[in-house]
Structure 1
């Protein structure tokens, strides 16, 4: 993905980082959009990752998370590097909402979303 992004936008800054320990100073972002990335964080690491998100956000910033519904964790058949995660962490909405509140977030909106049947993943190019 980084190779593609750098080719498409050579003047932009891209970096591969661990969501549990981002390499940014505190209060630098007005928002975080984590679509189909946070689900690769093992549940045991979800709270530290969310706290890291909160740390790099400016006061009043917002987060948009897209998560996969379910219970537990599900391996995916790839040989991922250890810091990428174990597969898919599945979340029920009340479970995630409770974790977000425990990390100091105020929930503005949460909803169960059903993408196109049998095509649950999206690649979107935003301009």
Structure 2
């Protein structure tokens, strides 16, 4: 997808809550360093790449259509998804991240926007990837994000969530290097998604590797059909 035009607001800053603004500002401040680290973030993680490949296969099996990476940061995962054959674009709160993504991947589309208030039509997307982008969302707000994901996905569309898993603990805040983040029990997050109208296809837990602190969780889900 090469067009830069979009129904997403070109400048959503006036609509941001204090939480959104603080998160965007925190990522703006470290965007250049973060982009350098993220560029090869999937190298050495075959299970993570396998989950993304399973998402891409599921989307393609359902037929052609646009896919959004919500919380795309500097765009490296969006580019990886494009390499898997998807018609993908990225959305992020951070203006600096979006500028870096557009510079690094000029043939892809990146737009400013908030995951809980997308200016997209109902059912506009075939797939959504939220790759560690819900982690800063206060737990009480997560159901609203999932409801928005369901709204913009077509019936039968595919959702992939990547997150930090809490390893037997309840939802737990932690001192993420950028701003406060949360670790989730995989069953609890799957349950919230089910309540929001998603059916689980599969899940993957990966233990932390060298340099990582926490277990990683991944949920692959489909949007329930209309009326179900």
**Alignment TM class, shorter chain as reference:** 0.7 to 0.9
Q: Distance in 2 between matches of 1:120 and 1:6?
A: 31
Structure-2 residue corresponding to 1:32: 128
TM-score (structure 1 length as normaliser): 0.78
Q: Distance in 1 between matches of 2:153 and 2:130?
A: 13
SS in 2 for 1:102: helix
User: RCO greater where, 1 or 2, for CA within 8 Å and sep 6 or more?
Assistant: 1
Identify which of 105, 108, 111 aligns with 2:201: 108
Structure-2 residue corresponding to 1:16: 112
Query: What CA RMSD, in Å, does the superposition of the two structures yield over aligned residues?
Result: 2.0
TM-score (structure 2 length as normaliser): 0.46
Radius of gyration: which is bigger?
Answer: 2
Identify which of 99, 103, 106 aligns with 1:3: 99
Poorly superposed stretches of 4+, deviation over 6 Å: none
Aligned residues: 114
Q: Deviations over 1:53-109 (max 9, x none)?
A: 00010111011110101232224354xxxxxxx621210111111111111110000
Identify which of 89, 97, 102 aligns with 2:190: 97
Structure-2 residue corresponding to 1:124: none
Identify which of 147, 152, 157 aligns with 1:61: 157
1:74 equivalenced with 2:148 (yes/no): no
Q: Which runs of 5+ in 2 are unaligned?
A: 1-96, 215-228
The answer to whether the Cα contact below 8 Å between 1:20 and 1:45 also exists between their aligned partners in 2 is no
The answer to whether the Cα contact below 8 Å between 1:42 and 1:73 also exists between their aligned partners in 2 is no
Report the more deviating stretch, 69-78 or 96-105.
Answer: 69-78
Q: Which runs of 5+ in 1 are unaligned?
A: 79-85, 122-127
